Amino acid sequence: MRVLITGANGQLGSALQRTAPAWADINAIDVEDVDLTDSAMLTARLVVEAPDLIINAAAYTAVDRAESDEALARAINAEAVGVMVAAMASTGGKVVHVSTDYVFDGTSPVAYRPEDPRKPQSAYGRTKAEGEDKLRAQDLLVRTAWVYAAGLPNFVRTMIRLMNERGEVGVVADQVGSPTWATGLARTIWGLAEKQATGTFHHSDDGAISWYDFAVAIAEEAQALGLVTRTPVVRPLTTADYPTPARRPAFSLLDCSKTRALLGDRAVPWRENLRLMLEEEAKLG
């Protein structure tokens, strides 16, 4: 099967390439190959590629910048998805689109299910929800959250850098969700594709924590591996202590039971995957 991966150089795009099954004949593209904001260019590229399956791992993810640049975020997160869906509709192909917990408002008392109503509170969340609306019934939507991977910019690597530079970091403790190791997400996407799944599924690692909890664990695990050279101080902050242009969901835990039931695999605890990622990071030097 011919599979086109967009966002090839990002955390998920890279992980999808590393974990690809034997049945996938992959071509992976990024911004240097095609401008997703140019619908004509994107359409032409899709005609040339003629994929059976598109896995759209590309996104505008600058959450705060999107508040003042919503048009660009919409072009990448929504309009480009529509172009991909139109191209697949003409050839009989399928789109696998990756979305986010930011499509929810963060007020639920329990983990969000795939079918729960969306109410995005930021420009980023709005444009990702609009991208979801471009999909057809035969396409596949996978929502995730707090993605990280070795060797690329993300919260985990930022924390390690700041801990080494300053010895002390402040992290919000009143925003709760679950991290997602990009490798595990990629494996889930391939598994759902192989099952020919359609509709909406969720994937994140198992467990409910705050960003502060995550930072404390990063400090402990990174120090054990020698990635942090001294014992850092991690201070809890409130969202009010750390104001940002975009409003973050206070609670964005995703209910992944539907995904785990279909794939027949276990929910991997977030700390287990964090340790694996940091072991990879240590090997990178």
- Cβ-based neighbour number of residue 41 at 10 Å: 14
In sequence order, what are the beta bridge partners of 170? 235
Query: How far is it, in rounded angstroms, from Cα 214 to Cα 274?
Result: 9
* For helices 211-224 and 270-284, angle between their N-to-C axes, nearest 10 degrees: 50
How far, in Å, are 45, 162, 197 from residue 6 at the CA level? Answer: 12, 31, 20
Query: How far is it, in rounded angstroms, from Cα 228 to Cα 222?
Result: 6
Query: How far is it, in rounded angstroms, from Cα 113 to Cα 256?
Result: 7
How far, in Å, are 105, 168, 226, 235 from residue 279 at the CA level? Answer: 34, 23, 10, 25
Active site residues: 124
For CA atoms 144, 149, 152, 157, the dihedral sign is positive
CB 134 within 8 A of CB 82: yes
